[in-house]
């Protein structure tokens, strides 16, 4: 049975990805940091859960010791920050990068060890359209997601000879809690800028992940899934 690990997988995009792999008959583990209620619901659906802080090296090492080698790693855990650049503190900048970039690095580093033994594996990093085109008042978030795209492309070249693929998905504006701060008027304006005229669904990002899993000739790509938004 294939094993899949998804960070930040109890809600939104991560949850949709987890449930899609459960339907495929895979053994799935998700990480979470605080939401015990959502974690409990995931366990009821057959998903293993592990509470950890992706910023902490020892937490990640403990996670992989418990769950073991994985066939697929999805680095989905992420946080956002909406502030003018001059109002962002150094600690806020560092903490955002610790989750969005350091967490992906720590998880990938551990996953690679098992994948090298099997000479096969897939890592999918969840970036953002803002990592490609940038967003005003979200410079820290945009920079971290751009870093994740660069990490993807470099790691893909490094690991391709070992049979390990690394890809990235850059969602547009998806209907999740991360975007709940937008007012209805804001959402209406955003929808006007999206060529397909609506927000994306978490399930559509999950579908993109399984597409990348099924096509074994794709590596090093940044796949935008945003209804044409930002391009």
Active site residues: 141
Q: Where are the alpha helices (DSSP H) in 160-216?
A: 184-193, 202-214
Q: Please work out, in degrees rounded to the nearest 5, the angle formed at the alpha carbon of residue 74 by the alpha carbons of 73 and 79.
A: 140
Residues 6+ apart with CB under 8 A from 78: 8, 99, 100, 126, 128, 144, 145
Sign of CA dihedral 218, 224, 227, 231: negative
30's enclosing H/E stretch is strand 27-32
38 vs 141: CA distance, rounded Å: 25
Using only C-alpha atoms, the chain has a radius of gyration, in whole angstroms, of: 17
């Amino acid at each position: 049975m294939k094993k899949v690990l998804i960070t930040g997988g109890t809600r939104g995009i991560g949850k949709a990805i987890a449930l899609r792999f459960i339907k495929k008959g895979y053994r799935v583990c998700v990480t979470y940091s605080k939401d015990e209620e959502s974690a409990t619901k995931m366990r009821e659906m057959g998903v293993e859960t592990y509470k950890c802080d992706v910023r902490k090296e020892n937490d990640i090492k403990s996670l992989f010791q418990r769950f073991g080698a994985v066939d697929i790693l999805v680095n989905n855990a992420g946080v956002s920050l909406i502030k003018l650049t001059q109002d962002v503190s150094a600690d806020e900048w560092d903490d955002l990068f610790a989750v969005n970039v350091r967490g992906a690095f720590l998880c990938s580093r551990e996953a690679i060890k098992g994948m090298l033994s099997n000479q096969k594996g897939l890592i999918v990093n969840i970036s953002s359209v803002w990592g490609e085109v940038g967003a005003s008042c979200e410079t820290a978030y945009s920079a971290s997601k751009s870093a994740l795209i660069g990490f993807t492309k470099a790691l893909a070249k490094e690991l391709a000879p070992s049979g390990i693929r690394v890809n990235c998905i850059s969602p547009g504006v998806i209907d999740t809690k991360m975007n709940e701060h937008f007012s209805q008027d804001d959402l209406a304006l955003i929808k006007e800028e999206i060529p397909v005229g609506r927000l994306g669904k978490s399930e559509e990002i999950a579908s993109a992940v399984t597409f990348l899993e099924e096509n074994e000739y794709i590596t090093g790509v940044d796949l935008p899934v945003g209804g044409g938004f930002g391009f």
